[in-house]
Amino acid sequence: MADYSFKLPDLGEGTVESEIVVWRAAVGAHIEADQPLVDMLTDKATIEITAPVSGTLLAVAGEPGDVIPVGAELAVFTAVSEHHPVTEGRPSPARQAGPDMLAGANEQTDTSSPHAADSSLPRPPEAAAASATKADATAVRTIKLAGLRRKIAAQMTRSAGTIPHFSYVEEADVTELERLRLHLNETRGNDRPRLTYLPFFMLALVRVAREFPQCNAHFDAEGQFLRQFNPVHIGIAVQTQNGLLAPVVRHVETLDLWQCAHELQQVAQRAKDGRAQREELSGSTITLSSLGALGGIVSTPIINYPEVAIIGINRTQQRPTLADGVVCNRLVMNISSSFDHRIIDGHDAARAIHALKRYLEFPATLFLSA
């Protein structure tokens, strides 16, 4: 009876290939049908695939980081007996890559130093210790990009390599916005999340998108057409232990300030916990990026392909400002932005950011009906 060759199944949504994240069973081990076999990464979601049969795992197609086409051999099992009928390997529900799933990234130490001594010759302990120290000083680690980090690298390369970025930085006086934010946080109920600047930016972006619809769009370079969206689906760049993700808050145009804060908190936490579903990590029409207290003075955010605009929030700082002939301290923030120059000219980019600035400097306007 021939051994059983298990092919990578179709994982849905037009997937043609998938990356090995981690094997859940070792070659030579006995595995039961429906027992976890391997985690495969498609897009930014990890899918657990179970064993299709019971038997000994004889061979696997690759190691973590290798990409396998759909329909290609994934694993080989011992011959299937009549007591172990063949079943389809079932993908489990998609889940975000967890910490252990990225542990498969291969690390190798290059010890091929030209200074390495001939190990066949006896050496005194002092010489051996000195040689080991010298070898450590010249060692090089080669780390294979795998899992989510490889996906992030590919996405950044695609964005930076294909989109001609135009960056624009504007200063905004957020003194009144900060007063409002602090007041709302002090008077909020226990059922409401604490407000950061992000929910205010989200409301402001909805209004800017109405004035500059070309900013809330996707550009198809191959077909040479622009998709402008009425809904505003905002991607929020979130740093997780596995890398940068951009979970999406959908239909922000239908949300009030507190709802923005709640939805933002929910999607960000799921991304950090590794529980974000595939649909929560795609479909944004414009992206907000904030480094919080580490926001720096200025940044040059990379556009989230195929979007055409991204807004970066830098840290606030007190500055002496001349107003009506009087010097006073004001709280200011730089807003860093990048635009796809194929779609948005510099003049329009500046106008859009100035509109965003007006809403932030006069935050009461955020709550006026359109």
Rounded CA-CA distance 360/314 in Å is 14
Largest Cα separation within the chain, whole Å, is 93
Angle (nearest 5°) at CA 233 between 229 and 236: 140
Q: How is residue 104 annotated by DSSP? A: G
By residue count, the chain amounts to: 370
- The backbone torsions φ and ψ at residue 226, rounded to the nearest 5 degrees and listed phi first, read -110, 135
The span from the CA of 235 to the CA of 246, in Å, is: 5
Count Cβ atoms within 10 A of the Cβ of residue 261 and give its class: 0-12 exposed, 13-18 middle, 19 or more buried.
buried
Q: Which two tokens stand for residue 35?
A: 């027992």
Residue 92 and residue 48: Cα distance in Å, rounded? 5
Catalytic residue among 345, 347, 348, 354: 345
Question: Closest by alpha carbon to 214, among 165, 158, 286?
Answer: 286
Q: How far apart are CA 173 and CA 332, in angstroms?
A: 4
Q: For this structure, is 136 an active site residue?
A: no
How far is Cα 89 from Cα 68, in angstroms, rounded to an integer?
A: 16
CB 248 within 8 A of CB 267: yes
Q: Are 136 and 128 in contact (CB under 8 A)?
A: no
Catalytic residue among 262, 341, 348, 354: 341
Q: Which of 323, 322, 326, 281 minimizes the C-alpha distance to 304?
A: 281
Residue with tokens 């930076």: 160
- Cα–Cα distance between 330 and 177 in angstroms, integer? 11
Q: Where are the alpha helices (DSSP H) in 118-232?
A: 125-138, 147-162, 175-187, 198-211
341 is catalytic: yes
Active site residues: 341, 345
